[in-house]
Copies of this chain bind each other. A is one copy, B any other.
């Protein structure tokens, strides 16, 4: 697997998943007292870019990043819909896509997954940096 991976360029989905996994591992090693993240709003870190997320504190984000990492590492597709509300909205938006041809759908989801993984990696790194700020350690 290592040799095959070596030839992948920066746009590889597999590499994006591994980069995320590595960012979460780094976050876990750095954040020894996750409770310090409680009540720190995410807005300070991510400039309100995700509206729903602004109600979360950084501690919830910390837990979310760990949950997603477990799924990324197991490679399993979730069957239980614990994010039911958001997924209903997403599924409604999905309806017009069902008429699209499968090649376009494949590209759409491949890019989408790549993009969301890159975004989550950046957010995980920002969270780790924010923790360093909180405990007063310079990067």
Contact = CB atoms under 8 A, between A and B. Distances in A.
Contacts of A8: 74-76
B1 A102 contact: no
A14 B75 contact: yes
A68 B103 contact: yes
Chain A: interface secondary structure? helix
A35 interface: no
A102 B74 CA distance: 19
Contacts of A97: 90, 93
Interface string A24-62: 000000000000000000000000001111000000000
Contacts of A102: 50, 53, 64, 68, 116, 119-120, 123
Given A50-B102, A75-B12, A107 B119 contact: no
